[in-house]
Structure 1
Amino acid sequence: MFEEIWKEFQREISEEQAFSLSLLMAFSWHYGEWQDDFGLDIGSGAMVSQGSLIESIKGIQGYDVREAFSRLSERINWQMVEQEAVQRLLKKMIDCFVWYGKKGEDPREVFALILDLMGRDGKCVLTPPGVRRVIVELLGPRKAKHLASSCCGGAGLGLELWDYLRLRNPEISFCGEEQSRELCDVANLYSYAYGVSAGEIVERDVLTIPEERERQRYDMIVMDVPRGRNVTELCQSTDPRLYGFTKRNIYADWIFIQDALYRLSEHGSAAVIVTPGSLIRRNEVSLREQIVVNDWLEAVITFPNNLYPKDHTGRELLIFNKAKKRKGKTIFLDISGYCQRTGRNVHSLTEEGIKLVKKVFDSAEQIPGVSAVCGREEIGENAFSLKPLQYIRRTGEKEIQSGITLEEIAQIVRGSQLLKKSDIKENGAAFFINIKDIQNARLEFGQADRIQRTSSVCKAKFRISKDDILLTSKGAVLKAAIVEANPPEAYISGNITMIRVDQRKYDPYVLFEFLISEQGQIALERIQSGTTIRIISNASLQTLKVPNYDLARMKQIGGQLRRNQERYYREITEATTRFQKERGRLLDELEELT
């Protein structure tokens, strides 16, 4: 019913205006319900106006709430609201709210619906309901006196958790923090609707270095890191949250994570939602090492893609606990397959997925393809990657008993990204290899771009040689090829990674066969970042473990693999030639019949 009114509203006024006005109307109704009266005098043809709305809540206790209501009302173009069509819709909205009241609907659900309608169009980013439920299920049973919701938006996530926690501790305080003044005002109204008495909503930018006097200790913190703000920031040596971090730059998501840990009490817990890059990015490896060594990381959970409207990027949930019971252990969980479609390019978590998270989190059960429990040493061996897929074993997957890392046996080079359009020449003397030129595990030069030798990409380190293994370092599908004997002069693009094996330590054909095997593909998938476009970094490849064989026997088998492949391609060429020759002969005979 309300959604129909919302759609009609959008034909008369802007979405932002419809949002603010609907929220104020809902709050006026909510406050009036408490007073056994709607609050608005709508009889005798009276109009809904800024004055009538403010008058409807004049008896409310709480200066911050009244100020928030007033500021939101000032964002509305009241001349537009006076139009007959808008007034008609406002009265339909009032009837809708009265009907909700008679049905016994919780006013908080109406607030949530208005926020959800705004979020569906990507105008404000809300934590999806299923993700909120997971966090409440995991943190709700714990004790807390002071709860903070950082980057709170409309405060839906934090308030749901607060509502659950107060069952055990009615005196629990709530603090919502948000950079946007408008969203602070929205959160103020929402927290009032929830009945928060001991709490506040403050305007705060997490990226600003906090002063010591601002540091408060919370028993629990929840945070959905704003994706649009995840940019590279200059690292400030004076920032106490980044103590021991020596890099010049830092991605903002790790400032948000460190902010939560910095303000968490010595026995506190936190839930932080981030994008996948946070878990594996090499720049912040020392910070990941800190939290693993300090034993603060309790669980990492991979969610499905497309949970957020108009945002296909996946999300990961980090659960921190500074006093966790399972010492030295971290749970890794992947529920990316537990989703259902709820709209165009929008998914939601299934009930089964939510229950599975709770079950595994409580029991620390290791389920093939779903979960793993790892110690600090194993995480350290994987360059402190926090990506669940890197630790979760698939059903039937073989574990490498004796392994060696790729950086121990090969040189890894990412291709050049400096090619200019002017460098591409039809009669160029060299080839420039890109993703499209790897077909069926073989390099195909027929459609490859040609470039002049004077191009800046024509450097020795980018030039391919016999036995080099080429991997696509970026793209939707992972491709691989091994360079055959006597290749033409060719250089690799930035979308290609070249693995040049030290043949004194390993055989290139054995390595190639491992990389294209099912086990190798799983290993490569584990170290990829990104969702739609998968990326493999050099740093991730360096830590990739491959089987460690007896060198003499490996070289013998590698030589046989090489000869087998050469014979296969030679026979394909000969068979193709025979086919084309015979086809031509038969077509000539057919031509003679006419």
Structure 2
Amino acid sequence: MENYEIVNKDIFTWDKDDKPKLFDFVVSDPPRNLKYHGKFKKNDPMFRYGLPRQSSMEWAVVQKVIYHMKSTAKGVVIGSKGMLVRSYEDEIRAAIVEDDLIECVITLPENLYENTGIGTEVMILNPQKPAERKGGILFINAQDYRERLNSYQHALTDEGTKKILEAYHHNIIEEGFSKFVPIEEMAKYDYRLNPVEYIEFESLKNHFDQTIPLGDIVEITRGVNVTKKELESLEKDGEYYYLNIRNIDDGDINYEDAIRTRPRSGDWLKRYSIQPGDILLTAKGWETKAALVGDDFRDSFISSNLTRIRVDSSKYNPYILLEFLRSEVGKRMLESIQTGTTITLINNKQLSRMEVPVYSKSMMDEIGGSIKKNQTTYKEKVKDAEQQYEGKRAELMMRLGLDNSKK
């Protein structure tokens, strides 16, 4: 590039007498989690799709790129997964999507930037889409096409680069990799632009002959948010356990480390308590874990880091559902609807839309009953083994004169 100019300035300041410079091609790769310390103006023509938040600037940058594009130009914005899914930005996303300006969204492998595991998303803007792209967006999921560049970062493989270019330039649709989604379909997803959600979710759904939305068979409730100070005031004479992420083990609930609390208000008992057959799902964190509330449960409330899935037993077996959520297919489905950049979250609205496999009631009763029996047998044998271990250990310690029971 021979003709260029480098300018160091606040890109969101403007002079009302100045006309915007328009370009044939505009590219922006802003720092992740960038905050703006100035003040956005409501009447700024740059933000005709909506005033962005100062704490999250990616959609301010997207609108900045659009503002400087010629009618025949293309724009590229590189951002995070959060840019594609944050709920408080859905109105801006919706306005730009409905204006049919987004041609393609590409998910690249994580850790492409040194010393950060944050994923990378590429958004291509094009006011003059080809006919086959009008009224929708091409989504591409290339997150698995990575190779280790060095100890600190990955790189996109040559194969991944080739597949992306072929899909984009030749409109290739491939299950598990690329998919064209009409705008009216995106409206059902609150204009979320996560390629993994549209591509991976559909591909996984096709594993089963018949599926049903999770929301049709369960009631989904996020736990109660309590500050540390409030929790301390509620601990005195607490009769209920306050369950958090750390209390969810591999398919089971560990009550021993949970804080004891009293209900802050009368509606806690109905809204945030647990009962046998409930499934508790971690709503935040890198790894999603699920556990079933058994018959030996203890009176508890769930924190806001947990989601309670209350299964309608006349429609589905909770043991079958738990095993599905813990399976590889179930985990990948949950990953496809996660949001967040540094801390992942599961949105309950999206969770309710997740499809689960349909089985006959007789099959669920039979297999669900066997799973429950198997779990009960396992716990009993573990308990017996622990007792035998402690008994034998006590005997050996006594022979060594290390028994502390006698003084």
What TM-score bracket applies, with the shorter chain setting the length?
0.7 to 0.9
For structure 1, the 5+ residue unaligned runs are: 1-162, 164-194
Q: What is aligned with 2:186? A: 379
Which amino acid is the alignment partner of residue 487 of structure 1? F
Query: Match for 2:332: what amino acid?
Result: I
CA pair 376-228 structure 1, distance change in 2 beyond 3 A: closer
Tell me how far 1:525 sits from its aligned partner: 0.8
Structure of greater Rg: 1
Q: Note if contact 1:329-1:374 (Cα within 8 Å) is conserved in structure 2.
A: yes
Identity of aligned residues (%): 29
Paired amino acid for 2:62: I
Amino acid aligned to 2:181: C
In structure 1, the partner of 2:403 is none
CA distance in structure 1 between the aligned counterparts of 2:386 and 2:22, rounded to whole angstroms: 78
Deviations 1:7-38 (A, max 9, x none): xxxxxxxxxxxxxxxxxxxxxxxxxxxxxxxx
Change (3 A) 1:592 1:290: closer
Task: Tell me, in whole angstroms, the C-alpha distance in 1 between the residues paired with 2:249 and 2:325.
Answer: 16
Contact 1:304 1:314 survives alignment (8 Å): yes
SS at match of 1:359: helix
| Counterpart in the other structure of 2:374 | 568
Counterpart-to-counterpart distance in 1, 2:369 and 2:392: 34
Higher helix share: 1
What is aligned with 2:56?
Answer: 251
Query: Secondary structure, in 3 states, of the residue corresponding to 2:338?
Result: coil
CA gap of 1:479–1:589, structure 2 versus 1, over 3 A, is: closer
Alignment check: 8 A CA contact 2:234 2:263 kept: no
Could you tell me the TM-score, scaled by structure 2's length? Answer: 0.80
CA distance in 2, matches of 1:201, 1:343: 31
1:79 counterpart residue number: none
Q: Name the SS of the counterpart of 2:309 in structure 1.
A: strand
Q: Does residue 349 of structure 1 match 2:156?
A: yes
Cα distance per residue 1:78-99 (max 9 Å; x no partner)? xxxxxxxxxxxxxxxxxxxxxx
Question: 1:454, CA displacement in angstroms?
Answer: 6.3
Match of 2:215 among 402, 406, 410: 406
Deviation at 1:280, TM superposition (A): 0.9
- Normalised to the residue count of structure 1, the TM-score between the two structures is 0.57
Using the TM superposition, give the Cα deviation of residue 300 of structure 1 relative to its aligned residue in structure 2, in angstroms: 1.3
Cα deviation, residue 278, structure 1: 0.4
Distance change >3 Å, CA 592–CA 328, structure 1 → 2: closer
Q: Is the 8 A contact 2:319 2:371 kept in 1?
A: no
Partner of 1:316 in structure 2?
121
- Report the RMSD for the aligned CA atoms in angstroms: 3.9
**Counterpart for residue 239 of structure 2:** 429
Given the superposition, is the C-alpha separation of residues 562 and 593 from structure 1 closer, same or farther in structure 2, using an over 3 Å criterion? same
Secondary structure in 2 matching 1:439: coil
**Structure 1: how far apart are the matches of 2:291 and 2:307?**
11
CA separation in 1, counterparts of 2:54 and 2:315? 36
Between the two proteins, the alignment pairs up a number of residues equal to 394
Equivalent position of 2:68 in the other structure = 263
Distance 1:243 1:210, change over 3 A: farther
Match of 1:185 in 2: none
Aligned to 2:260: 451
Please give the secondary structure, in 2, of the residue aligned with 1:481: strand
Segment of structure 1 superposing worse, 433-442 or 371-380: 371-380
Q: 1:271 to 1:586 in 2, by over 3 A?
A: closer
Match runs of 1:27-106 below 5 Å: none
| Cα distance in 2 for residues equivalent to 1:406 and 1:212 | 54
CA distance in 2, matches of 1:408, 1:258: 41
Q: Give the one of 142, 148, 171 matched to 1:364.
A: 171
The answer to whether residue 195 in structure 2 is matched with residue 388 in structure 1 is yes
> CA separation of 1:577/1:498 partners in 2, compared to 1, >3 Å: closer, same or farther?
closer
Cα contact 2:242–2:261 (8 A) shared by 1: no
Once the two structures are superposed, residues 376-405 of structure 1 have per-residue CA deviations (whole angstroms, 9 ceiling, x without a partner) of: 233333332211211224998442655436
Residue 293 (1) aligns with residue 98 (2): yes
Which of 272, 275, 278 is 2:83 aligned to?
A: 278
Q: Residue 110 of structure 1 corresponds to which residue in structure 2?
A: none
Asked whether the equivalents of residues 404 and 545 of structure 1 are also in contact (C-alpha less than 8 Å), the reply is yes
Structure 1 residue aligned with 2:308: 498
Alpha-carbon distance change, 285 to 376 in structure 1, aligned in 2, over 3 angstroms: same
Amino acid at match of 2:298: P
Please give the per-residue CA displacement for 1:450-478, whole angstroms capped at 9, x wherever unaligned: 22316689933332233222111122221
1:474 aligns with 2:284: yes
Q: Name the CA distance, whole Å, in 1 between partners of 2:235 and 2:351.
A: 33
Change (3 A) 1:210 1:467: farther
SS at 1:256 equivalent? helix
The alignment partner of 2:330 has SS state of helix
How many Å separate the matches in 2 of 1:273 and 1:470?
Answer: 36
Which residue is equivalent to 1:525?
335
